[in-house]
Chains A and B, each alone.
Chain A
């Protein structure tokens, strides 16, 4: 079974650092990118960026460039999303997802179960 399993919920204070993870299994991890998606409380989905695990080439949404870092360790089939200094506005559910491509199309399947990040003083 192809699946992405994310790390557990986190509660942090403003200014703290954090790294959350997404482990792929059931497929060749280096054959597919990993994307990260944010969902703020009661809001919609926002694409943050993606990484190619084979060489760690990364593309960010302009909205998130400079605010987060996406990385990967192909030896353990794991992608990461990290912050160096969290803000209250980073409070959200974060999903990883594997993109698949077809003719003039691209879709995300599967998705991780999500990691809830709460930033509060």
Chain B
């Protein structure tokens, strides 16, 4: 399968911890990368590889993986973390890329 599946929406109380998951067969071969997209803006990578954060991404963002499931965890969610989050990886063939459907995160 070349699909990645995400929950459409997740909510978290301000300052609490939230996990966003992504499932797909390709995740048994490749780590997922995670992108944050705020309204009217281009996506920005927040996690890549096993658990790497680009420069400028707060350390409250972390990633993990087990079997066919990748997870993005935000520890101590802030109001500015409210956004759409997408997972992405190469597909099982390695020649194409695939995105998850996206998760809309609401910070209450």
Contact = CB atoms under 8 A, between A and B. Distances in A.
User: Do A and B originate from a single complex?
Assistant: yes
**A-side interface size class:** 20 to 34
Interface in B78-108: 84, 86, 88-90, 95-102
A108 B29 contact: no
Nearest to B44: A111
A54 interface: no
Contact of B98 (A47, A99, A112): A47
B43 interface: yes
A103 B88 contact: no
A26 B49 CA distance: 23
Given A44-B86, A45-B86, A104 B102 contact: no
Contacts, number: 69
Interface string A73-115: 0000000000000000000000101011011111111011110
Interface in A37-68: 37, 44-47, 50, 59, 61
A61 B33 contact: no
A104 B48 CA distance: 10
A71 interface: no
Contacts of B42: 95, 111-114
Interface residues of B, number: 28
B50 A105 contact: yes
B31 A44 contact: no
Given A47-B96, A59-B95, A59-B96, A106 B86 contact: no
Contacts of A105: 30-31, 33, 48-50, 89
A109 B30 contact: no
B12 interface: no
20 contacts: A44-B101, A45-B35, A45-B86, A45-B102, A47-B96, A99-B97, A102-B49, A102-B52, A104-B31, A105-B31, A105-B48, A105-B49, A105-B89, A106-B30, A106-B90, A107-B45, A108-B33, A108-B45, A108-B88, A109-B48
